[in-house]
Structure 1
Amino acid sequence: MYSSLPVHPFAAMFPMRADDDLDAMAESIRANGLRFPVVLGMAAIDDGSEPMLCVVDGRNRIEACKRAKVQPHTITLNGEDQDAYIADANLERRDLTKGQKAMLIAVRFGDERKGGRGKTASTNYAESSQLSVRRVQQARAVKEYCPEMIDSVIDGKTGLDEAYAEAQRRRQLGQATDTRYEALRESDPDLADQVNEETLKLNEAEAAARVRREEEESTLRSYAQTVKDISRYITAFGKPGIEQLARLYVSNPERFHTDNLIGDLDVWIAIATAIKEKINEQAR
């Protein structure tokens, strides 16, 4: 009967005992009866669902009773904190590693839940389970950066140290990614917008930005070559050529492709001066 009841979501996170352990429990129940009742309660099994009768504690005892062909007796919680009851009943299990316990605490208890003496619930349960707070913090990092590894750690298939190493790698990669994105946002905000809109991946946007810089550098080199060419032409004039140019412009301005040579020269002088000042500024 009770084996058909759903299991409380937090209790369901704890792995079932090994098959040999269940056989041993069944043998003990067959010989001595069930010493500890199965605990029932009302809880929402899925997010947003209505509370329903479920197994709060005793899933292994139900299975052992089934093997022993013994009908389990039950008690029903009435107003007690079910998460706290499940934690108290299961976190002392000797078949769970400290990594498994730390992950279960990290998954179920957030820092917002206060326990005794102003401590968080996770800190209290870590201390009662003889875990360091650091281990729970490592488990939280796994929860944040490697959520797909949570079940594997809880089931004991992956050690917490291994999962935490992967979480650290992903966190560092994420920090590096943030730095790269901020640099892109500063240099090429339009490309950063496309990354946000997911029309470009970050590495694609960075590649596009590099192409822009190369094109800009090529254009600047071309400008520098133009300045050099003009300098060579003017130098080749010499003083007599300059005087001849001035007389010719004044006497026949229509032969020049400009109606304001003096204005054009002023622009060039201003540009040349600005370039010179910037080069000297960068060189300092």
Structure 2
Amino acid sequence: MNAQIPSHPFADLLPTMVDKELDALTEDIAAHGQREQATVWTDSESVTWLLDGRHRAEAARRIGAELRVTRFEGSEADARALVMSLNVHRRHLSASQRALAAGALARRRRGGTSGVPAGMPVAPTQAEAARTAGISERLVRDGAAVISHADEAVIQAVASGDLSVTAAAATIRARRTDRQAAAALYLSHRRSSASDSWLTPPWIIDRAVACLGVINGDVAAAPERNVPADWHLTAEDDALSLPDWANGDGTPSRLWVNPPYGSAGRGPGDWTRRAVREWEAGTVAAALLLLPARPGAHWQQELARFARLEFRGHLTFEPGEGNPARARWETGARSEAPFASILVGVGIQPSQLHAHFSDVGVVFTAYSPGA
């Protein structure tokens, strides 16, 4: 199929590949052929639209190759759902990239825009777009703000994964000169991409998996997603704003929780209280919480009813990518954290903590008269 097929309007609102990614795809198709067919759909007015495969179509056009396609049969609503499914979920976009896509879809004027077929469904609400993309409504609002007010360079930085949608939107909202603020943020990001990511030691993760049986979710995941969980929520996903921490199918989850320790991340208290509340509600079956030892903190006292392990000595955390301490780590220099750590088992028996961690710490339980 050599004729140029127009992209479905909803597909056009999704982030496009950056030039280097499109160049690589073109080179691959030129060398090996088109590995995966594009998807087309014909509407009630006999207009054929490209639902999926914009970049394959452009690559084929560049090298003069025929675009291989498969035809989708279904309603207009089915076509829109397929666009989101193929372009958002299959491409393994980050939360920021999905927010940009969902924000673009939700900010379309409900009732249609010029160039959109008359029978095309209205744009989804932010809540609908959030559910489709598997993110919070707050992130959809951030995506819409970036699409509406940021310069093209900033939009591309978010679309390519170089910049978080939350950071871009926060700067836009903080100043009146939206475009100047967003551009300044982008330039600042290009100059410095430092982060404060610290990764849980792998040996602790291995024991946590054995203790929990399986880790369904990592609700305070590092950007590296180093915990072998079924699903991860990074800072961009804002786990504390989500309605619950159950698995996607609604079943109670088994969680790993190593939250931010500083006030910039709202501190451990918000995370520990939320984990307990989810367990009490039955949306979380069990959770292991890795925390700094702060006996006088209210949040630690609130956890006293759960078994906890106090580690012997101080743990050594690995600096994540972008952390200024990473360079020193890669030279072989290792240093312990300046604080002691505890591991709290919410919904976990003391015997389980003892079985998997007794050689590296001591398990404590609250005194209960008559027990």
The verdict on a shared fold, with TM-score over 0.5 as the criterion, is no
- TM-score, normalised by the number of residues in structure 1: 0.43
Which one has the bigger helix percentage?
1
- TM-score, normalised by the number of residues in structure 2: 0.34
Rg larger in 1 or in 2? Answer: 1
Which one has the bigger strand percentage?
2
